[in-house]
Amino acid sequence: MQKQTLAVLDYLVILAYMLAMVWMGWYFSKRQKDTDHYYAGNRRIPSWAVGISILATLISSVTFLAYPGAGYSGNWILLVQGLMVPIVLLAVLWIIVPVYREAIRLSAYEYFEKRFSYASRLYTSLAFSVMHFTKMGTVVYLLSLALSGMTGWDIYLVIAVVSLATLIYTLIGGIEAVVWTDVVQGFLFLAGGLACILILLFRPEGGPAAVVGLAWKNGKIDLGPYDLDFVKLTFVVMAINGIFYALQKYGTDQTIVQRFLLAKDDRSAIRATLLGALLCVPTWTAFIFIGTCLWSFYRITGIPLPPDIKSDGVFPYFIMTELPAGVTGLILSALLAAAMSTLASDLNCLSAVAVEDYYRRLRPHATDKKRLAVGKGVVLVCGLVTLLVAAYFAGAGEKSVLGSLFELYAIFSGGIVGLFALAFFTRRANRKGAIVGIVACILFTAWAVLSSPIKWGGEKMILLDLGAWGYRHHNMMLGVYSHIVLFVVGYAASLFFKHEAPPRSLTIHGWLERRRARQAVSVSGPWTPDGGL
């Protein structure tokens, strides 16, 4: 890839961004006197800010680079998953948010303990922790690898600067610093993406009509194939996966559920979550559209690309060779922002889970001051370990360990949406049935992961070759199946154990009862909670 020396203006833009993030952490540090401020912002953060924070949390640097790469090499099929998010949320968000805000203090996984048992809480919180702890080092490494390849900067220096800057403002500023830096970061990568789109559309001869027209004629703006085939990557596979993705992120993921608690009331929380979800769709669309425009751009202009360049490298190459001074710095800052917003959110949420799900149980009489100190210690340790993991990947290559980490995560954390559906949509499911469902899910996922082809060192291999008895559907369907297995087995197993009526407030049925009662108030007069609701 051709290198381009950054202009002084580019360095100034990047430096200003990094200093602004650290300053915001220092600014909010004065308020972090208790765990409610540190993890929930005293539940007074404006809904629009929470919504943009959700957007920034869901858009990582991997998305920033992978979506343009996918749009360049193929069509828009990866977008189908994101298109399912607002559809699902419009159906269930009005119920999920009030239930969580009533049922939990801080950790999303407290809900599963109240509905089933501590074992369910442990399973879900460990799944979240393993996934996000693994992801943090990967995100920092991939960002640093991209920036190093684009600019020639030393990869270890990039890892250190990004990790330490994010750690500092997250550690001292708490969730308020995370949210408000997310706001800046969200606007930054939206502005960066828009700048790239405008240049890609208007610089080639013929303008937007030529760029979009060429892509359209060649099938680049398409969501297919539309076959009913679960082996290949199709529209149906992505749509089904998207439904479960939306339920997992907004129904079980601490990084999102914790945002429910930041707003002052249920209505504000719902409005914030909808805003974040609705902003994500055009953002994902914009970055996959960048890839489509890149495909047309290099064909219309005739500008040669390096012969060995891969699809994921085209957007970084464009950034470093075609953008004017200042704009390049803006885009690189946006790339930093995408990674830092995800990392900061993960650090704060991992700390919240550690304090609420583990430390509070081990030390139930600890003071709030002590819990806050432990929480900050978790942020510090997780941040430093993330730095070390990313540095290790830089030296050894992520393929040496990354594949096995993700395989283990897939085995031991599948089915969380199935567990949520079991808890939320049924009254007959009980704690023993849930445990049986979790065990069945782990066994199923282990079989599927170990018997399906995986990439290792650039080659495909099968760890447990079972021939025709192995898992052969597309990997994206694995998550769907694991949720279904846990739900079906968990519900069926519950029928063999004594019925344990759950608290009505923890299921959709209780919510519907309360809704009917509130509607009756407008007809029959004031309502009181004496009716067992």
C-alpha–C-alpha distance, residues 92 and 149, integer Å: 43
Do 117 and 38 reside in the same domain of the chain?
A: yes
Q: What is the mean pLDDT of the chain?
A: 87
Does the pLDDT value for residue 521 go beyond 90?
Answer: no
Together in a domain, 29 and 162: yes
Dihedral (C-alpha) 81, 82, 84, 90: value to the nearest 10 degrees?
160
Q: Could you give the 3-state DSSP secondary structure of residue 428?
A: coil
State mean pLDDT over 359-375.
Answer: 93
Query: What pLDDT was estimated at residue 422?
Result: 94
For residues 89-108, give the mean pLDDT: 89
Residue 143 burial (C-beta neighbours within 10 Å; 0-12, 13-18, 19+): buried
More confidently predicted of 338 and 181: 181
Q: Determine if residue 415 is left, alpha or beta; phi over 0 gives left, psi from -120 to 50 gives alpha, anything else beta.
A: left
Q: What is the CATH number of the domain that holds 14?
A: 1.20.1730.10
Q: Is residue 239 part of a domain?
A: no
Is residue 317 located within the same domain as residue 439? no
Mean local confidence (pLDDT), 164-175: 95
Is residue 161 located within the same domain as residue 288?
A: yes
The closest of 276, 348, 419 to 107, measured between CA atoms, is: 348
Q: Of how many residues is the chain composed?
A: 533
Side-chain-side CA neighbours of 183 within 13 Å: the count stands at 14
> Does the pLDDT value for residue 474 go beyond 90?
no
Calpha distance 274→281 (Å, rounded): 11
Does residue 259 lie in a domain region? no
pLDDT score of 467 more than 90: no
Same domain, 291 and 368: yes
Q: What does pTM read for this prediction?
A: 0.88
Indicate if the pLDDT at residue 432 is higher than 90: yes
| 88 domain-assigned | no
Please check whether residue 431 lies inside any domain of the structure.
yes
Do 385 and 303 belong to one domain?
yes
Q: Which pLDDT value is given to residue 224?
A: 87
Same domain, yes or no: 384 and 498: no
Q: Is the peptide bond before 225 cis (omega within 30 degrees of 0)?
A: yes
In the prediction, which pLDDT does 526 show?
52
d(CA 457, CA 476): 21
Mean pLDDT calculated for residue range 430-435: 95
Inform me whether the pLDDT recorded for 88 exceeds 50: yes
Which residue type sits at 180?
Answer: W
The confidence score (pLDDT) of residue 7 equals 86
Of 363, 396, 429, the position where a domain reaches its end is 396
Nearest CA-CA partner of 249 in 350, 128, 423, 107: 128
Q: Which domain holds residue 426?
A: 401-502
Please report the pLDDT score of residue 2 as a whole number.
46
278 and 83 in contact (C-beta within 8 Å)?
A: no
Give residue-wise pLDDT tens across range 1-60.
Answer: 444 678 899 999 999 999 999 999 999 998 888 999 999 998 889 999 999 999 988 887
- Are both 314 and 441 inside the same structural domain? no
pLDDT one-digit tens code per residue, 110-136: 999 999 999 999 999 988 888 887 788
Domain edge (last residue) among 373, 396, 419: 396
The angle subtended at Cα 152 by Cα 149 and Cα 153, nearest 5°, is: 105
The predicted structure's pLDDT at residue 459: 63
- Phi/psi for 460 (5° steps) reads -95, 140
Per residue in 483-499, pLDDT tens?
999 999 999 999 999 98
- The Cα–Cα gap between 179 and 57 comes to 9
β-strand 459-461 against 454-456: which pairing, if any?
antiparallel
What are the tens digits of pLDDT across the range 289-347?
A: 999 999 999 999 999 999 888 888 899 999 999 988 888 999 999 889 988 998 999 99
The answer to whether residues 476 and 498 belong to one domain is yes
Query: What residue type is assigned to position 15 of the chain?
Result: L
Band the pLDDT of 481: cuts 50, 70, 90: very high
E strand spans, 273-331: none
Residue 458 — very low, low, confident or very high, per pLDDT cuts 50/70/90? Answer: low
- In the numeric block, the tokens 């900067």 are attached to 153
Q: What's the whole-number mean pLDDT along residues 183-199? A: 91
Q: Is residue 522 part of a domain?
A: no
Nearest alpha carbon to residue 77 among 221, 256, 267: 221
Contact 354, 366 (CB under 8 A): no
Instruction: Report yes or no on 3 lying in a domain.
Output: no
Backbone phi and psi for residue 456, each to the nearest 5 degrees, phi listed first: -145, 115
| pLDDT for the residue 454 | 67
Q: Does 179 have pLDDT greater than 60?
A: yes
Q: What is the full DSSP assignment across 96-151? A: HHHHHHHH-SS-TTHHHHHHT-HHHHHHHHHHHHHHHHHHHHHHHHHHHHHHHHHH
- Residue 312 CA to residue 299 CA, distance in Å, equals 17
Q: Is residue 511 part of a domain?
A: no
Structural domain tally of the chain? 2
Q: Are residues 456 and 318 in the same domain?
A: no
Instruction: Record the tokens describing residue 511, joined without a space.
Output: 């919510």
Are 106 and 356 in contact by the 8 Å Cβ rule? The answer is yes
pLDDT of residue 395: 82
Same domain, 391 and 415: no
Summarize pLDDT for 373-387 with one digit per residue, the tens.
Answer: 999 999 999 999 999
Q: Are residues 392 and 420 located together in one domain of the fold?
A: no
Residue 53 lies in a domain: no
| Angstrom distance (rounded) from CA 358 to CA 109 | 11
